[in-house]
């Protein structure tokens, strides 16, 4: 019985992986999350501080993002990571943003660029979103927020999924690589690449 159940789980994981690989799953399938409640709005865990554009590109390169990836940016701000992943790296990309104005602004930008087939922003609290479809997760959040996200990442991400964090590490995880990038404004940023174990 247990063997049966674990076989079924392995098969389901393989099917999701294959569907992503051959493009059967699109951003339209990104699981909708409940819209933020007033309680969620109190869960604003980090202010909007955008990642400089050359650092965004370095984050996506560090994770080796390509057209077979599904990138999730948790706390997606003005959508720059999602837009760059879809536009330049040809990935499917999903952002999750709590703030009403940033959600509307980034959704409008995606429509203006005609990227709706590959990019989407969910208006939600990041803690209510399933990451099961993600092959790459990007985070520019505080260490304490990363710590709180850790059980969700460990629950949802498949083996081999990559997580790239900007400036703040995930406590208790060992990065496979780290990299210092100097922004176009001359400021130093540290990036960390984590790979979920097999």
- Residue nearest to ligand SAM according to CB distances in the complex: 75
Helix 80-87 vs helix 53-62: angle between axes, to the nearest 10 degrees? 60
Report the alpha-carbon distance of residue 97 to residue 41 in Å, rounded: 11
User: Least distance from C-beta 1 to ligand SAM, angstroms?
Assistant: 39
| Beta-carbon-side half-sphere exposure of residue 115 (alpha carbons within 13 Å) | 26
Q: Does 171 bind ligand SAM (CB under 6 A)?
A: no
Q: What's phi and psi for 66, nearest 5 deg?
A: -140, -170
The residue among 57 and 97 lying less far from ligand SAM, judged by its C-beta, is 97
- Check if the beta carbon of residue 79 is closer than 8 Å to that of residue 109: yes
Of 92 and 99, nearer to ligand SAM (C-beta) is 99
Query: Which of 76, 106, 146, 165 forms a contact with ligand SAM (CB under 6 A)?
Result: 76
Say whether residue 58 binds ligand SAM (CB under 6 A): no
Q: Would you state the structure tokens that stand for residue 56, as one six-digit string?
A: 């965004």
Binding to ligand SAM, residues 106-165 (CB under 6 A): 125-126, 140
- When binding is defined by CB under 6 A, the residue of 26, 33, 48, 196 that contacts ligand SAM is 48
Please give the Cα distance from 177 to 175 (Å, whole number): 5
Which residues sit at the interface with ligand SAM, rule CB under 6 A? 43-46, 48-51, 73, 75-77, 80-81, 96-99, 102, 125-126, 140
């Amino acid at each position: 019985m247990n063997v049966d159940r674990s076989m079924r789980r392995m098969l389901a994981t393989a099917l999701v992986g294959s569907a992503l690989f051959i493009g059967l799953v699109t951003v339209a399938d990104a699981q909708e999350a409940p819209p933020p409640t007033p309680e969620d709005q109190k869960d604003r865990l980090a202010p909007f501080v955008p990642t400089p554009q050359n650092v965004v590109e370095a984050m996506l390169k560090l994770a080796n993002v390509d057209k077979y990836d599904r990138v999730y940016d948790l706390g997606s701000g003005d959508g720059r990571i999602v837009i760059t992943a879809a536009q330049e790296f040809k990935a499917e990309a999903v952002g999750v943003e709590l703030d009403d104005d940033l959600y509307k602004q980034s959704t409008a930008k995606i429509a203006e660029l005609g990227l709706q087939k590959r990019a989407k922003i969910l208006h939600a609290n990041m803690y209510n979103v399933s990451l099961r479809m993600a092959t790459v997760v990007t985070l520019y959040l505080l260490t304490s927020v990363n710590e709180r996200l850790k059980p969700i990442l460990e629950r949802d991400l498949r083996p081999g999924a990559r997580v790239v964090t900007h400036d703040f590490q995930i406590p208790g995880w060992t990065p496979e690589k780290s990299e210092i990038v100097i922004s176009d404004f001359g400021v130093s940023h540290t990036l960390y690449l984590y790979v979920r174990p097999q």
